[in-house]
Structure 1
Amino acid sequence: MVGDRRRSSLFDFLLFSASLLCLCLAPIPASAHRRKLRFGVDGEFKILQVADMHFANGATTRCLDVLPSQKAHCSDVNTTVFMSRVIAAEKPDLIVFTGDNIFGFDVKDAVKSLNAAFAPAIASKIPWVAILGNHDQESTLTRQELMNHIVKLPNTLSQVNPPEAAHYIDGFGNYNLQIHGAADSSLQNKSVLNLYLLDSGDYSSVPYMEGYDWVKTSQQFWFDRTSKRLQREYNAKPNPQQGMAPGLAYFHIPLPEFWSFDSKNATKGVRQEGTSSASTNSGFFTTMVARGDVKSVFVGHDHVNDFCGKLKGLNLCYGGGFGYHAYGKAGWERRARVVVADLNKKRSGKWGDVKSIRTWKRLDDQHLSVIDAQLLWSNSANVSVVL
């Protein structure tokens, strides 16, 4: 009798999940993909980073590196539940998936796994974007086919590549998102925060240079041109602004410069493994420092590192491992990184440009604990961290 009830409950759960997924994947107007992102009436813009879900086949895919008490009932479903909980708790304005969304080697059908992996984000109706890691393409779709599928999903602002650079740029999933000023402010039609999302590739294809891939020269050229164009627009009439709007960069594989930090000199967080960067330094760190608009870089890839460190004015931050089918550390909770940009309030009471950028992490424990709150950047000396 107990077994029958359990089977019935499981069937009901699976039926409900399937129905929800079908509802989520219903076609939506193309205009939804062109939704303009902007700061809220509270002067904030909040981003949830989800790094390394490693989703595979759902309830039949077992968890890795969890406590003995968790093993029997732990699966990809735990990843889905964690995502639903953290979305409900944080209510972000944008969700950013920074690669290894699926663990291709164990995936039977990449389309089904992608749909299931992104289902909580789709169900939330919150705008979301994704880039690829080094494991996504190890199943039934190439990297281009993966991005071609992702950009067709509901509520996503993901792009395969920028139209103006599609003929020369390396990789798939390079694009820029512009976050406009608050409604009814003088900057409502200007981008006051710029996001750069890049494909850091998978594995080196260059002879005698084994290991992981890197952000190529063509991508850096696109980044440099885009950054300069955005600065011109920021400085142009109407309502010309001084300097540059701050930027954030998201990609999967960390830069070699992440090796500069350990648990002692990082500003917040821990290092519990090495940095699995490319064997060559492509110079992208130097490119970003030279431009000056990017204030923080956010990556995944090394699941049990979750630190931020500051080098030459640029914050280098790990997201921390999110997914339960990804390797981790038993007893060290899966986690997500939250980033919040805050606007200055003018004497008139209207919102202005970006004042500061803050971050913290959410743990998948009973209380969704918040840890490691810190200020990443500010254009004022009198800013404190407020959750």
Structure 2
Amino acid sequence: MIQIMSLLVALCLAGVMVMAWRSVAVERSGEGAPAPLLKRIDPKQRRSLVLSLGLAVAFLMPLAFMQPAEAALSETMRGIFDGALADFVNGIMQDTGNDIYTWSWMMFLALAFLLMFAEFVKFIFEGFNAASHLEALCYFFLTLGLMGGYNAFTEAIWGVGVGLSNGYQQYLVGNTDNFFLSQWLNKALGAVVLDDLDVFDSIRLIIYAGQWFIVCAVLDMVFWLASMWAEFGYALAKVTGLIFIPFLLLPATRPLFDGWFKFFCGFVFLLIILKATMVVAAITIKSILESIGVTFAGDYGDPAQVVQIAKENMYLLADASAMLLIAILFILSSFAFASMIAGGVGNLSGGLGKATNMAIRKFLR
């Protein structure tokens, strides 16, 4: 019922605009004034407009039809996770008795009414403003499209992030399982065995061994955290986004939509940067372990043999631990890197408004 009401609101808005345009055209033609601006488009400008719209459609087409990239947690787990999340979102948007469904569509209708009322007031006091009316109409149908295809919209953007992030690991190790690098790290660090220490050994040797074990444990935990964090962030952003989509309609409420979109894109960038930093960290760790004698079956296979670090060689662990600590800090800093990049997304709704306004003015010139 709410969907039907939304379409009726859109049709009413379009009808009011068409009637206003025709009334202005009749009045001007009766006074001998030149034809309305929409009638004065030469073929060159018309071709330019068609070309611009064609390029926009060609650019956005992959997002509309792109399938979510496979792999991440694991083939089976990722499929179950994405399927359950999509079912949850689709279920909310189809359950007419759900509070989120009701609130989202009622907010959409309320803001759409305010948008129509504002354009009607502009028409009364300022006359027919084709640029303003068409821009409002574009925002209306854009918001309506996002409300109806929200799941496909978010999956398409997330699929781009997953595909790009998996490209790093696919080239390095030949698979795209998120847990592979953390599992490989666990096995690789387990190939380094230290001589047993006792109370008669020097404090320096105990410090070397202690910092090695602590750094390895923290690095293992950070790798597992990095494997899961972006996935849960995407789920949170997708579930909460249903509430913020209607705010795209009005200029006064668009900052709320922009804030959510930055939040959502932040996890997409985080997924890409985390995988890139994990790959760089894996290359660094492999080099460190090979420098103290660990060999692997294949490039990033299981360790071929266990390396025993004697007491007299434990000083090697000091440099290795420092490098592993840098790898930990590097992975953790990817959260800050992703936040900085997501902040560069800027004002999406404002950018759409400027682009729409420029296209309309080009059309009306």
The TM-score, its normalising length taken from structure 2, stands at 0.25
Which is helix-richer, 1 or 2?
2
Which is strand-richer, 1 or 2?
1
- The structure whose Rg is larger is 2
